[in-house]
Amino acid sequence: MTDGTNARASIFDGDDDFDLSEFTPRPRTAKPRADKDALREVAEKKGFVSREPSPRDAAPKPAPKAEKVVIPPPAPEPMPQRRYRTGRNRQLNLKVTDDVMRRFYALADSQDLILGEAFEQAVTALEILVKRNEAPPRPKRLRWE
């Protein structure tokens, strides 16, 4: 590459006796199979259980005796899914406090609104307050500019 061109050097340049005849695949040898009985014996000693059904599992089982059933306490009720086809196709994720989230859901539920509609109405209400100069004061916070 010292001739002034930007051509890439070949790894085979000047190596005419490149002989690959020594590289041949090894013959495939048969691997000895493990004795199944010996494997089963080792597995039983170590406590492994077969996944295969045993003949006694195939027999019908007697009905279990009535036992005292312990009913766990109910888990907290999750918020229901709210999925509607509304034509809204943009997503807005907000970080809010738990109190604000509960108030927002309560407002939407009390007015029988889909969350997107409730958000639209909240934006419209804030726009009206801003036009009238009646918007609540903004909290002081750091601004990264």
Cα 88 from chain centroid?
25
Check: pTM over 0.85? Answer yes or no. no
Q: How far apart are CA 126 and CA 134, in angstroms?
A: 9
Q: Are 116 and 83 in contact (CB under 8 A)?
A: no
> What Å distances lie between residue 51 and 41, 48, 54, 100, CA to CA?
15, 9, 9, 53
Q: What is the pLDDT of residues 14-40, one digit of tens each?
A: 666 667 778 888 888 888 888 888 888
Q: Where do the structural domains in the chain lie, given as residue ranges? A: 98-131
Q: Name the burial class of residue 119, with classes exposed (0-12), middle (13-18) and buried (19+) by CB atoms within 10 angstroms of its CB.
A: middle
Q: What is the pLDDT of residues 85-133, one digit of tens each?
A: 778 888 889 999 999 999 999 999 999 998 999 999 999 999 999 999 9
